[in-house]
Chains A and B, each alone.
Chain A
Amino acid sequence: GAVVSQHPSWVICKSGTSVKIECRSLDFQATTMFWYRQFPKQSLMLMATSNEGSKATYEQGVEKDKFLINHASLTLSTLTVTSAHPEDSSFYICSARDPATTYNEQFFGPGTRLTVL
């Protein structure tokens, strides 16, 4: 199956700092990647859709100036959490859509656990 990596797998930072998370499709080209956030005991919440070479599309209620997304190549999308605060602490997961699959399946990265002190 398609492989998606994320880096870092976990990060602890001080309040007010910025954190960058990378999402890579390792064995396929992903024109579309998605960023999710998951709080404990809750389901995944889609934050934004990232398209290669264009601006990301954010879901309602997600601050685009706080969560900066860049999809610079067909295998890399980055999410930068700017001026992070404790309420941003969460499990951030990316997925990549493999256009070569029958159903345009999405494959998830292993996730990044962010803790803001």
Chain B
Amino acid sequence: QKEVEQNSGPLSVPEGAIASLNCTYSDRGSQSFFWYRQYSGKSPELIMSIYSNGDKEDGRFTAQLNKASQYVSLLIRDSQPSDSATYLCAPTGGGNKLTFGTGTQLKVEL
């Protein structure tokens, strides 16, 4: 079992729709969870952090965490073509090290 699992996609959504990205993790000791966005050829950019169970909203982004189910998700409302990128889920493990999933490629179509 992989430590962090994400559907590699591509996930295609029309412009203006809601994109839903999912992630499961295996380390029950993980306390903090991060979503990074990575454009092709660029480095990752932090877009959301979540620590507690439930939802956390920031602009068009909502992160959802369920530690009992070892599940974290990211919703992007009103998706724009500029949101087209790979989204990386990263729980924090020992030593504050991040464990990255392979990422989900999102394509927002006009």
Could you list which residues of chain A lie within 8 angstroms of chain B, going by C-beta atoms? Answer: 1, 32, 34, 42-44, 46, 49, 57, 93, 95, 97, 101-111
Contacts and interface: CB of A to CB of B under 8 A. Distances in A.
Contact of B49 (A34, A42, A103): A103
Contacts of A44: 44, 88, 100
B17 interface: no
Interface in B39-60: 42-46, 49, 51
Contacts of A103: 32, 34, 49, 51, 92
A108 B97 contact: no
11 contacts: A34-B98, A44-B44, A49-B95, A93-B43, A97-B96, A105-B34, A107-B46, A108-B36, A108-B44, A110-B42, A110-B43
A21 B34 CA distance: 26
A104 B36 CA distance: 15
B49 A105 contact: yes
Interface in B1-45: 32, 34, 36, 42-45
A49 B92 CA distance: 14
Interface residues of B, number: 20
B97 A49 contact: yes
Given A34-B98, A43-B103, A105-B34, 4 more contacts: A32-B96, A43-B88, A105-B46, A106-B34
Given A43-B88, A44-B88, A44-B100, A108 B32 contact: no
A42 B44 CA distance: 13
A102 B97 CA distance: 16
Nearest to A93: B43
A105 B96 CA distance: 9
Nearest to B101: A43
A93 B36 CA distance: 14
B102 interface: yes
A104 B96 contact: yes
Contacts of A106: 34, 46, 96, 98
A71 B98 CA distance: 19
A104 B100 CA distance: 16
B46 A34 contact: no
